[in-house]
Copies of this chain bind each other. A is one copy, B any other.
Amino acid sequence: MKTYIGIDLGGTNVRVCKIMANGNILQEVKSLSYGMEGPEVVIENLVKLIKSIDAYQECSGIGIGVPGPVDTVNKVMKISSNLKGFTDYPIAKVLEEKVGLPVFVDNDANVAGLAEALVGAGKGLGIVYYVTISTGIGGALIVNGKLISGKSGYAGETGNMIVDPYRKPFNNLNPGASESEASGRALTRKGKELFGEDAIQNAGDVFALAASGNSDAQKLIDQMTTDLAILFSHVAHIVDPHMFVIGGGVLKSKAQWFDTMIEKFKTFVHPGMRDVKFEVAKLEEPGIVGAAMLPVSNGL
């Protein structure tokens, strides 16, 4: 079975793993990423880590998952707030020259979705749409095993999709953007507005209040399920996926929203679309496995 190298490159830490085509992790090395010290230091460290992998030259390719949008055609990051100097830096090209293997780059939500589509919950299906609902909302579209990144890497930017254009905008996102209305951060914000700064620290506090019978908290969650149902309806009418795979921290409170959201979704699509599957993401390490799947998505 072919093997690949997956790299999870964050602003603070970096992990490099040797991974099989079926998603099994064979070997892991990690270190600080030196993200604020500039590309040269980051790359030198990365090359050292890669070369410490057993028989790294026999791997079929390298994939890197990074935070933020990526121009996958030119293989460069477009925004790199946690990795100083990496905007438009030719990270893939430089690594290819230093390591001698083909290198691909994509953002962390895209690679997580790719992992779920290839070796996770959506394995073997034609069209998989992945949505992670956590602090923010991200997503990824995978068609016949290939990640669709779009013209400039913005495909799957699910968090900026409008669910109601007449709400207030937040954080440079659209008015009524799904991330501003239905993410963990959104639920926290709305909870603080209703119950006070001190009563709510995170989305879990809102879910706990709702579970204890608080009707205002229940209304917040009811609105969240409507907003998510509209979001999934948007996606369904564009790509009609075989499966939606849902990941992210808000799944910790799955019992309080997941099934309700799906029932509402069914009211927002044509009758023939109501049987689309919604599955929970099942991989323990979608980020690093998905990075390793980038060469697979590109035919290697």
- Contact surface of A with B, Cβ cutoff 8 Å: 69, 78, 126-127, 139, 141, 143, 148-158, 160-166, 174, 226, 230, 233-242, 268-270, 272-273, 276
Contact = CB atoms under 8 A, between A and B. Distances in A.
Contacts of A158: 237-238
Contacts of A226: 165
A239 B164 contact: no
11 contacts: A78-B272, A127-B155, A143-B143, A150-B240, A151-B242, A154-B237, A155-B239, A157-B270, A160-B270, A166-B166, A174-B268
Contact of A162 (B151, B230, B239, B272): B230
A88 B235 CA distance: 26
Contact of A161 (B141, B155, B160, B238): B238
A160 to B, nearest CB: 5
A161 B270 contact: no
Given A150-B241, A151-B126, A242-B151, A269 B160 contact: yes
Nearest to A239: B155
A165 B233 CA distance: 11
Given A143-B143, A148-B143, A148-B239, A233 B269 contact: no
Given A149-B240, A272-B152, A273-B152, A161 B126 contact: no
Given A154-B272, A157-B270, A174-B233, 18 more contacts: A139-B238, A150-B239, A150-B240, A153-B240, A154-B270, A154-B273, A155-B238, A156-B237, A160-B237, A160-B270, A161-B233, A162-B230, A164-B164, A164-B165, A164-B166, A165-B226, A174-B268, A238-B239
A152 B240 contact: yes
A152 B240 CA distance: 7
Contacts of A78: 272
Contacts of A268: 162, 174
Contacts of A163: 165
Given A152-B272, A164-B166, A165-B230, A157 B237 contact: yes
